[in-house]
Structure 1
Amino acid sequence: MEVDNLKDIEEAILEHSSSLEDKAVRQLHQVVNKLPPYIGRLINEAFEHKRIPKEYLLTSILFAFSNTAGLAIRLDAMGYSNYGNIYATIIGSRGDVKSPAMDLATEPLKKYDDVEYQEFRERSLQQGPEEPKGRKQLFIQDATIEAAYFKHFHNPFSLGILMDELYHLIEKMGNPSSKDGPGWRTLLLQGNTNKFVDIVRKTTESFRLTRSYPVLMGSIQQEFIPKIFAGGNLESGLTDRLLFTPKLTHNLKLSSFPIGQDCLKRYSDNLLRMMEYRKSVEDSETKDPIVLTCTPEAESKLFEYTQSLIYLQEKSEEIEKGYLAKAQINIHKLLILTQLIKESATSEFNLKIGLETVEEAIMIMDFYFTNFQIIVGKLEGNLPDIDPNEVVKLGRRNNATQEQIAAVLGVNKSTVSRKIARMKI
């Protein structure tokens, strides 16, 4: 940090003298204050009247907007194209008001799903015993991996995976004996960068999606966190794709007042306004996405930040390297969501992202990296030792090249080649 004035000196002192939790709380308040007033008001009123931690609701709101974007909104920047799907988890103990945060943020979209379901039921009654397959649906909660693929096929713009308790899915993915686990992890790994999905079955319907868009959110109790870092989740890179949200803010004071109805309506109206943009793309003949681009100043700032992540990755602890690598993708996703949140409060959708929006997205990404550091610090030796042979086996099963496996392990290609020659895969 360059120290040019008293404010910089004060920030430098805080940076080196406070805990990671204190740093995260400062970052959280900076983010909330920078977001549109209707978002800040909702977060603050929910904290005051419903005792919902601010960080929980912020993450839940990002998840909600991630679902509205779908494959209908794309960002072209720095020579790459990215979409806004994120994976997030809320971490806490029993009674930490985790579920109310997710419920509050997604309520308008659940009502949207309710309308779609009612229309589906009416079509079913009209068509008789043969059930129509094209039910429009934003969220799934409890589904097999085959059912999830099926739902995504009939809802190609997004697959919202919203789970009150994420533990069971994490356990499946870490269990080599699980029938569904490997499939879920493959979907989430490929879907994070919106790769194609091609499912072929001998006895059931086969289908293909040229692009996928899974969005994941759920809560998990503190004691189950080591599971996220175990069973191949860390080695495969799934852990690095998660936006972790530990509990940071606390309100012990009850309130007899509700969140203002005008506040809730404003949030609902703005969120559903983004759904209308998405629906216009879904209903179009070409299905071509709405494309966001950056101003030259914004693109320059995004480039500088990405370069700083690469430099930081080089000198960071091994456990942080993978997370920082995925942050170079997540910053694009968060930039899309930041733009959507800001534009949702306006009557016209500005497709050009400015410098201020990039700076706000960077603040959000830095907040989640601090959260990741908090989680790693709390594990205190509970992180699994990474067996290089297991990494090689996992890479080969997922068709990774020797160069890619070598990059994960931090060794040269010849070392990987020798390991492959000595093992049966």
Structure 2
Amino acid sequence: MDYSKQSLGANLRLLTLNDQTILENSLNAIIDLLPKEYSNLINEAFVYKRIPKEYLLSAILFAVSSCTGLTFYLKALGYKNYANCYFTIIGSRGDTKTEAKNIATRPLIERDDIDYEDYLEKVKHCSEEESPAKRKQILIQNATIEATYQVHANNPNSVGIFMDEIHTLIEKMTNSNSRDGAAWRSFFLESYTNGHIDVARKTTDSFRIKETYATLMGGLQHEFIPLLFSKGNLESGFVDRLFFTSKITSNKLLVRGEIDPKILSNYSQGLENILSYKRQSELQEESKKQFQIFLTSEAENRIFNYTQELIDRQQDAPAIVKEYMAKMQISIHKLSLLMFMVRNAIQSTFKSNLTIGDVNCAIALNEFYLLNFQIILKSSKQHKEILPTVEGVIEMAKKNGASQKSVAEITGAHKGTISKKWNKV
């Protein structure tokens, strides 16, 4: 597929005519550019498990991003960048969002299981005179922001935030009464560009993370999309840092069989190869903690020219899209490094150079996620008028056995207000 400035502009003009076709063509072009170990997994999961291809694509990228950490970086156009990215899968109940995430992250969860057993053994044999054992961990699924800080401090190379649904996180961010919500948003904003975090406490040890590296993966149902664009998420730039994946493909044909175990094994081995580099760099006796990935001159020129194209296209873009395109000038670096890791993971050839092919695939992804963002933005505008009222949330809460406290946290309304309305609904 041609990703010249002219063709990209043509695709954007066609966006309003046939969103689904453009997204599907873009998705298929990206899958064709991937190494067969990944494209085969995406295609077989679509056939045998009916998992939308776009969902598994984003889940795989999240897994690779979480493995990479601060161990690998690239320098281009005067900036140092890492491969940490935030992914959000948009869909309805029953769209197989969870299974896509499970397949992609299973090797990481299995590694976390092993590391947890090792941690328990260390705790069992740790004397009072020794420093407390630290748990190695790739992903966290259910943690407070304070616990997340601590996990990241114990695992300074990376922390992966892996949630089945992120609506609770979004609700906290949109609730002005939630201290955790503001802290979560600040954490993601700072970590996107790998800034530092300094945590000072009165009762426990304080600590400082010099360079943060967080990844994010979670699902979100359509009815919660308007919350993403409200109460500070848009203004702060949090939304601009998300790679959205809307539902594009669908397989309604049930087929007997299963994904080839060799395909799953190859995929797992690729992640393990990245982790091996990362774990080696974390050893105290290891002098080299990071590895710079060098670009070929053609690859660096391609990033330069594409970035200029983005700057030019920004001038005519709507305000919200303009801000998103500003972050695309950062994400092209992240995605280029991510594509390098994807291409070299199976053979563990990380000493090679990042090529123009890696950049072209990254551009395809960057444009794909821009198209998805525009679809989500359009959906948000269409549904803005039907955001759930306080009464509507109370009605849903009663049906699901939720408490008045939960309603107050979700809506941001005072507990007294909720109490007064509770018996009237």
User: TM-score, normalization: structure 1?
Assistant: 0.85
SS of 1:46's equivalent? helix
SS of 1:91's equivalent? strand
Letter in structure 2 aligned against 1:321: K
SS of 2:218's equivalent? strand
Indicate if the aligned counterparts of 2:75 and 2:292 stay in contact, CA closer than 8 A. Answer: yes
In 2, Cα distance between equivalents of 1:22 and 1:241: 25
Letter in structure 2 aligned against 1:249: T
Residue of structure 1 equivalent to 2:163 = 163
Letter in structure 2 aligned against 1:30: A
Mark the CA change 1:347 to 1:376 in structure 2 (over 3 Å): closer, same or farther: closer
Structure 1 residue 179 corresponds to structure 2 residue 179? yes
Map 1:212-231 → 2, pairs under 5 A: 212-231=212-231
Residue of structure 2 equivalent to 1:354 = 355
Structure 1 residue 88 corresponds to structure 2 residue 87? yes
Residue of structure 2 equivalent to 1:389 = none
In 2, Cα distance between equivalents of 1:30 and 1:376: 23
SS of 1:198's equivalent? strand
Mark the CA change 1:19 to 1:331 in structure 2 (over 3 Å): closer, same or farther: same
Residue of structure 2 equivalent to 1:391 = none
Q: CA deviation at 1:347?
A: 4.4
- Residues 326-360 of structure 1, C-alpha deviation per residue, up to 9 Å, x if partnerless? 11111111111100010012243234111111111
In 2, Cα distance between equivalents of 1:133 and 1:184: 26
In 2, Cα distance between equivalents of 1:227 and 1:377: 14
Indicate if the aligned counterparts of 2:119 and 2:133 stay in contact, CA closer than 8 A. Answer: no
- Residues 5-50 of structure 1, C-alpha deviation per residue, up to 9 Å, x if partnerless? xxx8xx8799478512211110100000110011110000000000
Residue of structure 2 equivalent to 1:65 = 64
Indicate if the aligned counterparts of 2:160 and 2:214 stay in contact, CA closer than 8 A. Answer: yes
Residue of structure 2 equivalent to 1:270 = 270
Deviates more, 1:267-276 or 1:278-287: 278-287
Q: CA deviation at 1:380?
A: 2.8
Residue of structure 2 equivalent to 1:338 = 339
Map 1:263-412 → 2, pairs under 5 A: 263-283=263-283, 285-382=286-383
In 1, Cα distance between equivalents of 2:289 and 2:377: 41
Percent identity reads 44
SS of 1:163's equivalent? strand
Tell me the number of residue pairs that the alignment of Structure 1 and Structure 2 aligns: 379
- Residues 43-84 of structure 1, C-alpha deviation per residue, up to 9 Å, x if partnerless? 000000001000000000000000111000111111110001
In 2, Cα distance between equivalents of 1:161 and 1:21: 30
Indicate if the aligned counterparts of 2:280 and 2:286 stay in contact, CA closer than 8 A. Answer: no
Residue of structure 1 equivalent to 2:388 = none
Indicate if the aligned counterparts of 1:20 and 1:373 stay in contact, CA closer than 8 A. Answer: no
In 2, Cα distance between equivalents of 1:222 and 1:2: 32
Map 1:24-173 → 2, pairs under 5 A: 24-127=23-126, 132-173=132-173
Segments of 4+ moved more than 4 angstroms: 1-4, 11-18, 128-131, 381-384
Gap runs ≥5 in structure 1: 385-425
In 2, Cα distance between equivalents of 1:12 and 1:253: 30
In 2, Cα distance between equivalents of 1:345 and 1:137: 22
Mark the CA change 1:333 to 1:225 in structure 2 (over 3 Å): closer, same or farther: same
In 2, Cα distance between equivalents of 1:13 and 1:70: 33
Q: CA deviation at 1:277?
A: 1.4
Gap runs ≥5 in structure 2: 386-425
